[in-house]
Amino acid sequence: MRNKLLIMPIIIKNGTIVNADNTFNSDIIIENGKIIKITNNIQAGAKDKLIDAKNKIIFPGAIDPHVHMHLPVFSGYSADDFYTGSIAALYGGTTTIIDFVTPQKGERLSTALKKRKKEAEKSLVNYSFHVSPVEWRDTLPQEIVEIIKQGCTSFKVYMAYKQSIGLDDDDLYKVMQTVAKTGALLTVHAELGDEIENLRNNFSKTGKTTAKYHPLSRPDYTEALAVKKVLQFAEETGCPLYIVHVSAKKSLKYIREAQKKGQKVFAETCPHYLLLDDSRYTTGFDHAAPFVLSPPLRKKEDNDALWEAIADETILTMGTDHCPFSVEMKRKGINDFRYIPNGAGGIEHRLELLYTYGVLQNKISINKFVDIITTQPAKIFGLYPQKGIIKEGADADIVLWNTEKEKTISVKNHHQNCDNNIYEGIYTKGAPEQVIINGKLILNKGEINTRFLGKFVKRYLK
């Protein structure tokens, strides 16, 4: 019923509109969830809601293509469900998330998708899903077609975690052949699962169980060689690829080579791989455990290489891999790093970090910023041009950005449902002032309107 409330038209005046390919000054009229007019000198009527965007940047609502809300692990669930996670998203300027559907073994993909959509109904932002085949079976080609018809046009496979959701090479190859035939996109967690398990178990057997052994058990070559392998499979099968959370300089070499050959391969990184490094693991357990995520944080040279890859467009998008766990949950692995749940939060901070350390440090332009955080995800995942651009006829998902707002990130001021934050103490400048979703003003100067819910967004093959 909350979405049935009467919505007055919104007029935004005096702002600077920033798209991926242009910047201009204009007013905007929003009605019935759409941008219906972009022109100058619009006059507001008595029934219009007027937003003065003077000195503000206006850009399309951000799309986070990689989040994990309400993720089940061996010891419980991640700290954010779709409601609390969407609150953090709103404070960060994200209006659409793409989460994941991970079926149980033997469960049909469509059954798992139905359950996941039910869990997401409490989200305040729009949502879609990547769906994961976790095993091969003869019905899978038909199931994948069914999922595409339901509006999820991307799939996710794991080369790690083979004891639970990961695929061995033969099954991975079959899935890639199947996805290629449909024209859908396959997203890939690229790590050599068998090699990592050997390293983890060998460390454990020799008493090397503290958190500092987490990155040592997942060295950069385990990512890079997995990237090399899956790119070879993609070339042979003709399967389009999207490689998630690229963290290692060595991986970029193989991605660039594939792109230069004309393979359809996209690469994503995350803010923590740009701004943090593996020195975080050398502290005591409670300080190190929040940074246990996979792939792990790398070295400063990897940070620099990823910034360069953004500049030369080897990497086109930035997700967050948002999946925070409480200190109590992390302490499940205090005696053995293998039992620390992997993941950290970030959905609230993606835009402010990229703006502060990308735009304001002249690593990227403001237009490139918009391209990374919304336009490219929209294009790659079948949401463009309804999302990812401010134009007449597009969905009215819009962020009004205050370029002067300063803060220091802390558990004391963040909005994710978690008692730790990997960006604790990091300064940012720039933040959302207002966020509009589906034509409704949801975030207004720090206050969230919870009367309206996000919606499942169908995506389409290009």
Tell me whether residue 336 is in a domain.
Answer: yes
Distance CA 442, CA 24 (A): 25
Task: Kindly report the CATH number assigned to the domain that includes residue 266.
Answer: 3.20.20.140
pLDDT (mean) for 221-230: 98
Q: Is the pLDDT of residue 420 over 50?
A: yes
Tokens found for residue 274: 């740009």
Q: Give the pLDDT band (50/70/90) at residue 233.
A: very high
> Are 23 and 123 within one domain?
no
Q: Is the pLDDT of residue 212 over 90?
A: yes
> How many residues does the structure list for the chain?
462
Distance CA 379, CA 387 (A): 9
Task: Kindly report the CATH number assigned to the domain that includes residue 4.
Answer: 2.30.40.10
Indicate the helix (H) or strand (E) that contains 93.
Answer: none
pLDDT (mean) for 214-220: 98
Q: Is the pLDDT of residue 106 over 50?
A: yes
132 and 159 in contact (C-beta within 8 Å)?
no
Q: Looking at 380, 403, 433, which one is the last position of a domain?
A: 380
The contacts of residue 278 (CB under 8 Å, 6+ apart) are 215, 296, 297, 298, 299
> Are 294 and 160 within one domain?
yes
Q: What does the pLDDT read at residue 46?
A: 72
Q: Give the pLDDT band (50/70/90) at residue 3.
A: low
Q: Looking at 380, 412, 428, which one is the last position of a domain?
A: 380
Q: What does the pLDDT read at residue 462?
A: 75
Tell me whether residue 251 is in a domain.
Answer: yes
Class of residue 116 by CB neighbours under 10 A (exposed 0-12, middle 13-18, buried 19+): buried
Distance CA 160, CA 164 (A): 9
| 39: containing domain | 1-58
> Are 266 and 372 within one domain?
yes
Dihedral sign, CA of 375, 415, 402, 5?
positive
> Are 81 and 200 within one domain?
yes
> Are 197 and 261 within one domain?
yes
Tell me whether residue 335 is in a domain.
Answer: yes
pLDDT single digits (tens) 29-71: 999 999 999 999 888 777 889 999 999 999 999 999 999 999 9
User: In percent, how much of the chain has pLDDT > 70?
Assistant: 99
Q: Which residues of 248-278 are buried (b: 16+ CB within 10 A; e: fewer)?
A: bbbbbebbeebbeeebebbbbbbbbbbbbbb
243 and 65 in contact (C-beta within 8 Å)?
no
Helices (H), 183-322: 193-205, 213-217, 220-237, 249-260, 271-275, 285-288, 300-311
> Are 223 and 316 within one domain?
yes
Residue 440 φ then ψ, to 5°: -115, 135
Q: What does the pLDDT read at residue 1?
A: 43
Q: Give the pLDDT band (50/70/90) at residue 4.
A: low
pLDDT (mean) for 316-341: 97
Q: Looking at 355, 380, 405, which one is the last position of a domain?
A: 380
394 and 387 in contact (C-beta within 8 Å)?
yes
The contacts of residue 294 (CB under 8 Å, 6+ apart) are 160, 191, 218, 342
> Are 112 and 238 within one domain?
yes
Q: What does the pLDDT read at residue 45?
A: 79
Mean of the per-residue pLDDT values of the chain: 96
Domain count of the fold of the chain: 2
Dihedral sign, CA of 260, 261, 265, 269?
negative
Distance CA 239, CA 180 (A): 4
Distance CA 374, CA 328 (A): 34
Q: Is the pLDDT of residue 256 over 70?
A: yes
- Range with the poorest average pLDDT among 2-6, 33-37, 200-204: 2-6
Q: Give the pLDDT band (50/70/90) at residue 265.
A: very high
Q: What does the pLDDT read at residue 364?
A: 98
